[in-house]
Amino acid sequence: MKYQFLAFILSLFTLTVFAQQQTPQQTQPADEVKNITNIWFVTPRTGSQHIDLSQDWQLGWRDSTTKQYSDIETVQDWVTVKNPASVPQQLFQAGKLPDPYKNLNIKQHKWAEQKVWFYKKEFTVKKPEKDSFIFLSFDGVDYWCRVYLNGKVLGRHEGMFGGPEFEIGSLLNYDKPNELLVTVSSANYGNPNYSSRTPGMFIKPWSTSGGSGVEPFFTFGMWRGVRLDITEKTHLERPFIRTETILPDRSEATLLFETEIISGNTSLQYNLHPWGNAQLSDFSSPNVSGNLSQVKTEIKVRFTHKEQVIEETFPVEIASGRTWIKHRFKIKNPAIWHINGLGEANLYKTEIELLLNGRTADKIVQNIGIRTIDWTESAGKRLHPRWGNWQCVVNGTPVFLKGVNWMPADTLLNLPREKFRWRLKLAKDAGIQIIRIWGPGHQESEDFYDFCDEFGIMVWQDFPVGNFDTPDWSQEVWEEQVMHTIYRLRNRASLAVWCGGNEFNPYSKGNTATIGVLERNIRLFDGSRKFLRTTPDEGCIHGYPDMCPTWYKKTFAAYPYVAETGIHSMASPYWLSEYINPEELKTAYKMWEKDFKETHPDVTLHFVEFAPFRVPRMLSRASHIIDLTAPSIEDLTLATQLGGVHLANNLSKNRHADDLPAHRFP
């Protein structure tokens, strides 16, 4: 398999840089089209209730956005794009531009950031037998978009991590072709000098917006799926199942089940923060709590694991509008979800059905794992007023965690399912038990979490706040992105930690509102997992001593958790020679020279966070293994990789010794 982004460095590291000033406020041009901000994630359905619209779109561009639908007639260079990805990847896959990851080719793609891109697709829908809602949901459009259906504008949207959603049942031509048109513009459209470390109003991580090590790479486009989900007028939404307890002898588990039932309306008609703090009514619709007792309403839940099938049906009373339902299940002799190395990662297929007068009106299918993850006080001294609990206890067993940090699998968001399987299978085989999705990265696609669930790898999920302050962020847009992420991921067995992001001050004036929105919603709409405002904080550390034994034996011993550490190393020379100018590779060992960046532009383009104070550390370790006078690229890469192996071995041994109380403070 070929890597789509050849990182010259394999280990993850970050440079702490706090924004000293904000760039001038950038704004999208004034527009009369309604801005759509909807926090209520529409749960994907399956079978006949679901239509996938993600593949086979037409893609073209023009210099400016549409003023009216007829502007589509001036769109240039239509091509067919098969799958969701960023525009640079889609142009490459369509044969319009060269591979953006090879050599300096990304520079040939830069013009596209200052164009407006048009996605067009036709589709057909059969008329439902029952009176139904049909939801059109976009799971990731980067960054601004405007949506048209059959020539009618539905609205515009900001943000790359979910939305917009529309109910389009009355707008469709049933059993005839419908045309869907989406215009997309980059976050730096009209502002090519955008700075990733001073993001202004844009809610993007710096790994996808020209940050350190990925300076020429700026993402934009429809990078996640588009779908239709069909429900009756009374339907389920956003079910949540979590493990409350498992008996010590594993003979029984108690699961808490929660869901919404919506009748007569859709989620899109509700706000999280009503005007005047109204809770049930603003007096314009006083009958929102009317009883629907004339309809026999039940919920049936079926749990299936191999030959074990557990099914329970229970009655519910609902009101017109929205009703929240809560129920507990007792599962005898549960198949436990274990983390990697401690047992099988057992998953239950869970089918949730809404029954109206005995008939299935709605159905949602998801996988869950029965497990408990707790965090208790670690051994050792407390050395700071903010000092959290860092001893991880999985299913009642304390665990010495082995983990890694995860940078995006593809900077330009070409993310087929097999890409995640290959990488996460490597992590599983290496004994990894927890992966931190690094804050300057992004929330991954469903495939990533599918394989973490399957392989028993826990996930520490950072949100995309990384090394900056956010005083200009729209908190409404941010809250939508937060809520979509919570609803999308909270049923995952693998999800263990929520964290605000990477190396920023959550207590600064510029960040308190942002973190307040995050913390409040995680508490309200999950409440079952460890939450951190940032990392490092509460006793965890980010440290890069590059194998200093004193650090690992003494200084690291003072901290209960190492969230980040590492050392530079280099990728396989086979991949280097395929993506980087071979002539530059012949003298790549001269990285210490002051003019190296100018004389080796191809090498440094593919080097994550190329910096003079980082390179000598890698070369110093390599010099213990080979003569660095004029090494071949094969010898140099092998030596840097061995340096990384030695570091990992040294770190693991010393951290494990630190975990034993007798060795913590020699």
DSSP 416-475: -HHHHHHHHHHHHHTT--EEEE-TTS-PPPHHHHHHHHHHT-EEEEEEEEESS--TTS-H
Lowest mean pLDDT segment, chosen from 272-281, 411-420, 536-545: 272-281
Residue 83 CB contacts under 8 Å (≥ 6 apart), including other chains = 54, 55, 93, 414, 416
Residue 614 CA, distance from chain mean position:
28
Q: Which residue has the tokens 């700071």?
A: 384
Q: Looking at residue 281, what is its pLDDT?
A: 58
- Name residue 152's beta-bridge partners: 149
pLDDT digits (tens, 9 = 90+) for 9-51: 333 333 222 233 333 334 444 457 888 999 999 999 999 999 9
Question: Average pLDDT of 481-487?
Answer: 97
Check if the beta carbon of residue 199 is closer than 8 Å to that of residue 501. Answer: no
Residue 142 CA, distance from chain mean position:
13
DSSP 272-316: SS-GGG-SS--SSSTTTT-B-TTS-EEEEEEEEETTEEEEEEEE-
Check if the beta carbon of residue 134 is closer than 8 Å to that of residue 51. Answer: no
Better-scored residue on pLDDT, 283 or 257? 257
**What's the chain's average pLDDT?**
89
Query: Which token pair is 662?
Result: 């007798």
Check if the beta carbon of residue 167 is closer than 8 Å to that of residue 401. Answer: no
The pair phi, psi for residue 662, each rounded to 5°, is -65, -15
Strands (E), 290-421: 297-305, 308-315, 321-332, 348-356, 359-368, 373-376, 391-394, 397-399, 403-406
Q: Looking at residue 117, what is its pLDDT?
A: 97
Nearest 5°: CA angle at 348, between 41 and 228? 30
Whether the pLDDT of residue 379 is over 90: the answer is no
DSSP element (H, E) containing 640: helix 633-658
Whether the pLDDT of residue 263 is over 50: the answer is yes
Among the listed residues 97, 113, 108, the one whose alpha carbon sits nearest the alpha carbon of residue 63:
113
The pair phi, psi for residue 154, each rounded to 5°, is -95, -30
Dist. CA 535–CA 390, nearest whole Å: 13
Question: Average pLDDT of 248-262?
Answer: 97
Q: Looking at residue 24, what is its pLDDT?
A: 34
Among the listed residues 591, 616, 613, 621, the one whose alpha carbon sits nearest the alpha carbon of residue 603:
591
Question: Average pLDDT of 71-89?
Answer: 94
Whether the pLDDT of residue 479 is over 90: the answer is yes
Q: Looking at residue 660, what is its pLDDT?
A: 52
pTM over the 0.75 mark: yes
pLDDT digits (tens, 9 = 90+) for 295-309: 899 999 999 999 999
Question: pLDDT grade, residue 659 (50/70/90)?
Answer: low
**For helices 417-429 and 446-455, angle between their N-to-C axes, nearest 10 degrees:** 30
Dist. CA 620–CA 643, nearest whole Å: 9
Q: Of the segments 72-76, 244-248, 571-575, 601-605, which one has the largest average pLDDT value?
A: 244-248
Question: Average pLDDT of 522-537?
Answer: 96
Lowest mean pLDDT segment, chosen from 267-281, 359-373, 462-476, 616-630: 267-281
Query: Which token pair is 395?
Result: 């299913």
Q: What end-to-end distance do the CA atoms of the chain give, in Å? A: 47
DSSP element (H, E) containing 631: none
Check if the beta carbon of residue 352 is closer than 8 Å to that of residue 325. Answer: no
Question: Average pLDDT of 124-150?
Answer: 96
Torsion of CA 318, 319, 323, 329, to 10 degrees: -10
